[in-house]
Amino acid sequence: MKRFDELSEAETLALAIANEEEDARIYRSFALRLRGPYPGTAALFDGMAEEEQGHRHRLLALYEQKFGAEMPYITRQDVRGFLKRHPLWLAPDLRLETVRAQAALMEREAGRFYARAAERARDVEIRRLLGDLAEVEQKHEARAAALEAEALPDGVRRAEDVEARRMLLLQVVQPGLAGLIDGSVSTLAPIFAAAFATQNSGDALLVGLAASAGAGISMGLTEALSDDGAITGRGHPWLRGVVCGVMTALGGLGHTLPYLIGDFWTATAVAALVVAVELFAIAWIRWRYMETPFGSAILQVVLGGALVLLTGILIGSA
């Protein structure tokens, strides 16, 4: 995987072309899904898809002029710093709120990409085109944000600040949720295996503390090193890393601290209750911030947690 600063001008143009193709397809998919209930918003996405195709043709023409007919294959997945896109357009219960947030995020990322690419370009024509596209994408971002006023029942505008919510989602909720899930679920097996193997609260407490701290450090570093935030706008990587690491550690400590209770069975009962609360909290956060249907979130989280917990108990009791 390459860093953005390592791309040649040919690779930068090729990546821009691939991005425009992907964005156009995504906008058309949104338009197709929203055409029935929200025809005005669907028409707007159709227009945005057409504009992305226009950008693609301009980029292709310039690439052929500068570098010929053969183009390297490169996508956003090959370059560090891009945010992985979840296929929201395939969700069975696509929400207008979710589409608006995704569209604004896509335009923000595209604008940052073109601005940084223009700064690095040495060829005058390439620099001019990339700079022009950066300005266009910034206008698109404002256009996507205007979707906040579209299709609201009874003409009521939402009072929440979509921009603040989106940045909270990117910089805090997503890394925090990833950490909470990892800390709450992955530490279940070692903690309860140690607990049932020794039936001693002190031993279980030590294993839990070690597992929680180790998982917190590992997840924090992984998040911090995965994306520098320069293109995605996800904020400082070490802020996200700290959030992810702290939430991972807290997720494990939640069902570790009950083993401060001297009586093993009492401590285990309290720990099991804490696990149930943790799993419900994770499901609620996924429903509230990640647009996951609550029933699906409950099923996924509880089933996964139960399997990990059962694994630890069985191994510890063997």
User: Pick from 109, 137, 152: which residue ends a domain?
Assistant: 152
Same structural domain, 102 and 207 = no
pLDDT score at 64: 94
User: Pick from 124, 152, 180: which residue ends a domain?
Assistant: 152
Same structural domain, 173 and 283 = yes
Cβ-contact 208, 184 below 8 angstroms: no
**Cα distance between residue 55 and residue 60, in whole Å:** 9
Find residue 79's DSSP bridge partners: 2
Same structural domain, 166 and 309 = yes
User: Pick from 152, 170, 202: which residue ends a domain?
Assistant: 152
Same structural domain, 252 and 313 = yes
Please report, in tens digits, the pLDDT of each residue of the chain (318 residues total).
788 888 999 999 999 999 999 999 999 999 998 888 778 778 888 888 998 999 999 999 999 999 999 999 998 888 887 766 777 777 766 777 778 778 888 888 888 899 999 999 999 999 999 999 988 887 766 665 555 555 444 443 443 345 446 666 667 777 887 888 888 888 888 899 988 888 899 998 999 999 899 988 988 888 888 766 666 666 677 888 888 899 899 888 988 999 999 898 999 999 989 988 888 888 887 787 666 787 887 887 888 888 888 888 899 887
**Cα distance between residue 82 and residue 7, in whole Å:** 14
Cβ-contact 231, 109 below 8 angstroms: yes
Same structural domain, 165 and 308 = yes
Number of domains in the chain: 2
Rounded to the nearest 5 percent, the helix, strand and coil shares of the chain are: 80, 0, 20
Same structural domain, 7 and 26 = yes
Same structural domain, 137 and 206 = no
DSSP state of 261: S
Same structural domain, 311 and 166 = yes
Cβ count within 10 A of residue 200: 15
Report the candidate in 85, 89, 73 with the shortest Cα–Cα distance to residue 110: 85
Same structural domain, 148 and 164 = no
Same structural domain, 148 and 168 = no
**Cα distance between residue 53 and residue 46, in whole Å:** 11
For 269, residues 6+ apart whose C-beta sits below 8 A from its C-beta are none
Give this prediction's pTM: 0.54
For position 123, which CATH number holds?
Answer: 1.20.1260.10
Same structural domain, 238 and 120 = no
Range of the domain at 58: 2-152
For 313, residues 6+ apart whose C-beta sits below 8 A from its C-beta are 192, 193, 196
**Cα distance between residue 305 and residue 277, in whole Å:** 12
For 265, residues 6+ apart whose C-beta sits below 8 A from its C-beta are none
Same structural domain, 209 and 182 = yes
